Amino acid sequence: MVYEQRSSVFPCLYAILLFSKEGIRVKLAFTKMHGCGNNYIYFNCFDQTVPDPESLSIKLSEPHFGIGGDGIILISPSDKADAQMRIFNADGSEGKMCGNGIRCVGKYLYDNGMTDGRTTITIDTLSGVKTLELTVKDGKMQSARVDMGAAILAPREIPVDMDGENVISAPIVVDEKVYHMTCVSMGNPHCVIFQKEDVDDLDLTRIGPKFEHHPLFPERVNTEFVNVLPDGSLKMRVWERGSGETWACGTGSCATGVAACLNGLANKNEDIVVHLRGGDLTIRYTDETVFMTGAATTVFKGEIEI
């Protein structure tokens, strides 16, 4: 494999990645994008086909021998929305939804003239069709407000192996320590832990996998560790199933905002600011849905041959 990356800071620079597979080489265009540091490699599948995305995601996500990232996202035609997105994590597993990723998909579509100038668009995901309201400046999308849909609280639908109508501040034992978790699904399962200890001091590489693979979660789980700050905003670190610690998680921020309301730490129908390692997201939890607002950034574009 040969890889040459040149930043898009200057227009004459470019990125090329070469793979060899059975002597057959297919050229694919890609765009590296991030939302609050949650970075993926995006492929426009309106005019190209990406073979074996599971294996490709593993190869390209590797930071030393690949492009580096939290996975790959395919942008494809849809018969019920402006586009469809499929998410593949760094370990090759397919995710149902990515809040930071969907904002980047919205930016890709708008910036590349694929929305006919419309600033309200829809994107089909494995968690249903989502609506985005785009904020545009100088012909480029700067941020998006995403209707993420209703929060799911029923344990069997999350899923978490517990009884009852919901899981709010329920005890869970990890490494002989009792934590209190609130479980929410935003199309993917989340376990939210509010704690007094500074989340910056957590050894997340040690504790994260133990939550992810805990027997209470039959489909594994994303785990958010959260501090409530004096101004009412939330500071969060996240361990994502299939990717490990990421700098941000959109669905995790939504789940954290919902969990804060359920635990009396925030109010419904008000903006909740979530501080992540890669930036801030604004969450609003209503009786009908959860809204997420945040930026999206294009890093560079390039081509690969596989």
Write out the catalytic residue numbers: 98, 249
Strand 15-18 relative to strand 297-305: parallel, antiparallel, unpaired?
parallel
Contacts of range 159-165, beta carbons closer than 8 Å, 24 or more positions apart: 159/189, 159/217, 159/218, 159/219, 160/189, 160/191, 160/216, 160/217, 160/221, 161/215, 161/216, 161/217, 161/218, 162/216
Do residues 89 and 242 make contact, with C-beta atoms less than 8 angstroms apart? Answer: yes
The answer to whether the peptide bond before residue 230 is cis (omega within 30 degrees of 0) is no
Question: Which pair of tokens denotes residue 112?
Answer: 């590349």
Instruction: Determine the Cα–Cα distance for residues 158 and 41; give it in Å rounded to an integer.
Output: 28
- Mapped onto helix, strand or coil, the DSSP state of residue 145 is strand
Do residues 103 and 109 make contact, with C-beta atoms less than 8 angstroms apart? Answer: no
